[in-house]
Structure 1
């Protein structure tokens, strides 16, 4: 009878362990080794996921799909709460990635631009005019280059559950139509906080400034800055049409998303749960990419209807922009690594 009671007590304890992201008792601390034969597959998780932009974005929709699919697949054993607009990091995307790396946040959707603040090698994906179209990005990220990016991110404490799409970054401004590098001279443009973008925009002759994205709308509204650059989905979901008149569709820099999970947490999970995160993560990414591509033409039409003036540079004009920033490659090839850069070229 005593042996039966002890066995019952041990089983009860094992099934009540819960991983709460941001607490002192995380999944990484509580879960058994994935190779063990205990009850690790029955571990319960209550996880927090941060998304940079609002709940009308494809990022948030895909994160919600992941949360719903995970809850359904595990009968509620794994719960993911999704927080838009970087609520968990005070609006600071860089802080969100840092918290993901140290385990305070469990999962995030973040751009590789934000990751490159922590590891400059990851800035290679943002190199100017590196990709001509989405077909090229798909091939590159599915190949050797994409695997190299995942390994770099893994070294920084995050397991990549695949790539999403923020898209090609376009320029908006409130001053005038931009058709040549000369139109950018002295323009105050908000850029993400990485040195490569600062150098790139100075090559254009612009006046680049960094700030968290949560501050951009107000800065544009008050005239502190003239413009900013982001993919269509972010421009649309953030309602920048209310404070910007012009947009240049030049595809100057590609911006993939990382669906990341804290590596210690992921490593602590059972093999079955790891596979579940990989499978449902890939499905969420595919859903996000499909949504982003389907919605972009509709979003463009809505921005036009709201009064934003679009300009698409000719090939000759694009070449002028490329030539203006060629020095960026000379400076950053050694930072990114020639082998990594060539895997995308």
Structure 2
């Protein structure tokens, strides 16, 4: 594991060194005070999401705090990487763009350690997730991203992930069996659903709506904001609220570009990122109740009881046994509820 990670990081670093400053990076390269920048940033989902609202806030703050020296060009739906979020993370690491909001689930396709914070049924609520992030998880993830050539500028939030489908209600593990479900592009998520007897498939998120509409897949799993902002309730009949995975968002910047900034400009980027992340998280949480209420008008919504959740939690023990070593003891400890 360690050798493989080192080789990946070395390859990314070598690619980054070969790049010029014009690939979504600064218009100059010195990073001196007074320098102007024209940066690109992507998100995985649409312009109606809280991800986009957070990115817009980040752009506004950079412009304001730099007196117009820092410009951020925003792209939804991973437009710069053909809809492929994994390729988007690679672009960020290579310096082909400067910023992105991406789930650690996507990062885990490169390094499985990133999936630790998205372990099934790890946190019962946002209070537990917040305490873990403040208690060491954020610091641990900053170290992981730097190994990839990415500067982590804090966590935003996608929220707790839910499951939808077009066949029937899901109230027990047996109800998942046989469903063809699009899951996040991570070995962990494939293993979670295989353990439940589903037929999990990975595909770019940009393809999900059409695949649900045509019946190529039966369902998918995502947080409320992603389900709602992409109109998935139009092509799904059942929503199960089970909060089975907490999904933060990594606000990442290409490390080489970050390190080229002056101390003054680093401070501007850091402060703008912290404020934008806080804004995005608060907005996401504020909107959840409203989004759920609207989806209840269009879908059959089932909220699982603690007893029903326990049956799913028990079914996940083989997954934990398989992944504990991949996460490493230090990282597994860092993400534990506090």
Q: TM-score, normalised by structure 2?
A: 0.91
Counterpart in 2 of 1:43? Answer: 35
Q: d(CA) in 2 for partners of 1:337 and 1:114?
A: 19
Counterpart in 1 of 2:137? Answer: 145
Counterpart in 1 of 2:44? Answer: 52
Q: d(CA) in 2 for partners of 1:235 and 1:20?
A: 35
Counterpart in 1 of 2:285? Answer: 293
Cα pair distance change 1:77/1:20, threshold 3 Å: farther
Counting matched residue pairs gives 317
SS in 2 for 1:140: helix
Q: d(CA) in 2 for partners of 1:130 and 1:28?
A: 43
Q: Does 1:240 align with 2:246?
A: no
Query: Within 5 A, what are the aligned runs for 1:173-322?
Result: 173-305=165-297, 307-322=298-313
Q: d(CA) in 2 for partners of 1:77 and 1:339?
A: 40
Describe the superposition over 1:12-58 as per-residue Cα deviations: whole angstroms up to 9, x where unpaired.
xxxxxx95434xxx4398225xxxxxxx0111100000011111111
Structure 2: unaligned runs, 5 residues or longer = 1-19
SS in 2 for 1:259: strand
Maintained 8 Å contact 1:20/1:47 = no
Maintained 8 Å contact 1:171/1:229 = yes
Q: d(CA) in 1 for partners of 2:259 and 2:183?
A: 35
Instruction: Report how far residue 142 of structure 1 moved.
Output: 1.3
SS in 1 for 2:178: coil
Q: TM-score, normalised by structure 1?
A: 0.90
Maintained 8 Å contact 1:19/1:46 = no
Maintained 8 Å contact 1:250/1:312 = yes
User: Highest CA radius of gyration, 1 or 2?
Assistant: 1
Maintained 8 Å contact 2:27/2:38 = no
Query: Within 5 A, what are the aligned runs for 1:120-135?
Result: 120-135=112-127
Q: Does 1:343 align with 2:334?
A: yes
Maintained 8 Å contact 1:247/1:308 = yes
Describe the superposition over 1:253-300 as per-residue Cα deviations: whole angstroms up to 9, x where unpaired.
110001111000000000111111111100000000010011010111
SS in 2 for 1:266: helix
Maintained 8 Å contact 2:145/2:152 = yes
Q: Runs of 4 or more off by more than 3 Å in structure 1?
A: 18-22, 26-29
Q: d(CA) in 2 for partners of 1:315 and 1:66?
A: 38
SS in 2 for 1:244: coil
Equivalent residue in structure 2 for 1:21, among 6, 20, 23: 23
Maintained 8 Å contact 1:52/1:85 = yes
SS in 2 for 1:298: helix
Q: Does 1:30 align with 2:32?
A: no
